[in-house]
Amino acid sequence: MDHDKIRANLSAYKDNELSGSFRDQIALHLQGCETCCEELRKLDRIDALVRELPQISAAENFASGVISKAQAASAPGHHIWSLPHRILDRFLFLGDSVFGLFRGFEAQEGALDEFGDSPPLSLSHAYFQLIDR
């Protein structure tokens, strides 16, 4: 099996997110490949470091504060762009969204990449399109 394909799925393998047959293929590959085993050990070390980070929690009014700020930002007169610029922006966004539906999406065997791959018509795809601006 291809090392790049193995490395791309090591995180999903580690988190038990892969189908049984694909997971078995990776396990078999790991038995004979020290390079990929080292990559898996690096992921283990990263997970251990993340678990050692201090836990934080948001204030009770955090969500309501974000919502109120978002509502205030979307209030009329808050935008600094002129009306033609806003219309052009919406038009370009719509065009990108429509043409984005026609782009090919490679179905991958196993789990999706944590923050990169999402089916084009899913809410997660729309979310990442919006925050990527």
Report pLDDT for 85.
75
**Is 104 among the domain residues?**
yes
Which position has the higher pLDDT, 122 or 47? Answer: 47
Q: Give the chain's end-to-end CA distance (angstroms, integer).
A: 36
> Is-contact 25 1, C-beta < 8 A?
yes
Domain-embedded: residue 76: no
Convert the pLDDT of each residue in 35-54 to its tens digit: 999 999 999 999 999 989 88
Domain containing residue 93: 82-133
pLDDT in tens, 14-26: 988 988 899 999 9
Total structural domains in the chain? 2
Question: Are 51 and 87 part of one and the same domain?
Answer: no
- Residue 61 domain flag: no
What are the angstrom distances between the C-alpha of 23 and each of 12, 15, 34, 97, 129?
9, 11, 17, 34, 30
Residue 117 located in a structural domain: yes
Looking at 65-69, 94-98, 107-111, which range is the least confident one?
107-111
d(CA 122, CA 85): 28
Is the domain of 50 the same as that of 1? yes
- Res 59: pLDDT: 86
72-94 pLDDT, tens digit per residue, is 777 666 555 577 777 877 877 77
- Asked whether the predicted pLDDT for residue 107 surpasses 80, the reply is no
Please check whether residue 20 is in contact with residue 13, taking contact to mean a CB–CB distance below 8 angstroms.
no
| Residues 51 and 4 grouped into a single domain | yes
Instruction: Let me know if residue 109 belongs to a domain.
Output: yes
Residues whose CB is less than 8 angstroms from the CB of residue 41 and which lie 6 or more positions away in sequence, other chains included? none
